[in-house]
Amino acid sequence: MALAEAGARGRLLRWPRVLLFGDSITEYSFQENGWGAYLAERLVRKCDVVNRGISGYNTRWAKLVLPRLISESTSADSIAAVTIFFGANDSALKELNPKQHIPLEEYAANLKSMVQYLKSVDITADRIILITPPPLQESAWEKACLAKGDKLNRCNATTGQYAQACVQVARECGTDVLDLWTLMQKNQDFSSYLSDGLHLSTKGNSFLAAQLWSRLENKLSALPSLLPYWRDVDHTNPEASLL
């Protein structure tokens, strides 16, 4: 059978998508042992995991970009889940990092605006997961800043305020939330979760992956595996199984 004929006979296969939207912690998530790669591995026959992490971005910029990633013409059915993971840059100290800093109230408003936009294009609240920024290990991040000729431009207490705002937005909007800031500090030294005081280490990636998977697994468990298992293909008439 010619390929063109096979294509005409069979339905176009479209994998549902899980969209990871965030800053550098999302952008780096497809690196070796990254949390995005972990999700992609587990969903390979069910979903495409799409990395839309943009290093250095804050919610003011992200709010402008989101409609260019998911538009009204995007089939809502094709979006299985969306993670929104910002705050590590928004919470930078204004006097030391004015370019990335976003005031706390605006940060919350921007998150809410993004959730409302997703709802407006028929992506329901149960498919949206907000993720708070992780805690900041100040001494390690100060070393990273000093190496670039900068002063310490973030502090953990301030990051915690943004994490609390993220949790509150999720509560108000009816979405799920992963409070990474709180969970990572629960009864333990969290420094091992971070590679440089801000970004995730291998252990931190594993922690986030496990926490996120526990929330996504229930949402995605009903999705079928696309294309039959190879043992189930009729080898005498593969068209009957595959088209």
Residue type, 166: C
Q: What's the pLDDT band for 199 if we cut at 50, 70, 90?
A: very high
State how far the Cα of 228 lies from the Cα of 30, in Å rounded to an integer: 27
State how far the Cα of 96 lies from the Cα of 100, in Å rounded to an integer: 10
Among the options 78, 113, 195, 196, which is catalytic?
196
With pLDDT > 70 as the criterion, what percentage of the chain qualifies? 95
pTM flag (> 0.85):
yes
Say if residues 140 and 194 touch (Cβ distance below 8 Å): yes
- Based on the residue annotation, tell me whether 196 is a catalytic residue of this protein: yes
- Based on the residue annotation, tell me whether 235 is a catalytic residue of this protein: no
Does residue 141 carry a pLDDT above 60? Answer: yes
- Based on the residue annotation, tell me whether 90 is a catalytic residue of this protein: no
Does residue 162 carry a pLDDT above 80? Answer: yes
**Model pLDDT, residue 72:** 78
Q: Write b or e for each residue in 148-162: b if 16 or more Cβ atoms lie within 10 A of its Cβ, otherwise e.
A: eeeebbbbbebbbeb
Among the options 23, 91, 101, 199, which is catalytic?
199
Please, what are the domains in the chain? 15-220 (3.40.50.1110)
Among the options 24, 78, 113, 195, which is catalytic?
24
**Model pLDDT, residue 10:** 61
Over residues 22-33, the mean pLDDT reads 97
Over residues 121-149, the mean pLDDT reads 94
pLDDT-wise least confident of 1-15, 104-118, 155-169, 193-207? 1-15
Over residues 84-93, the mean pLDDT reads 97
**Model pLDDT, residue 2:** 59
Does residue 176 carry a pLDDT above 80? Answer: yes
Over residues 109-120, the mean pLDDT reads 97
Over residues 112-128, the mean pLDDT reads 96
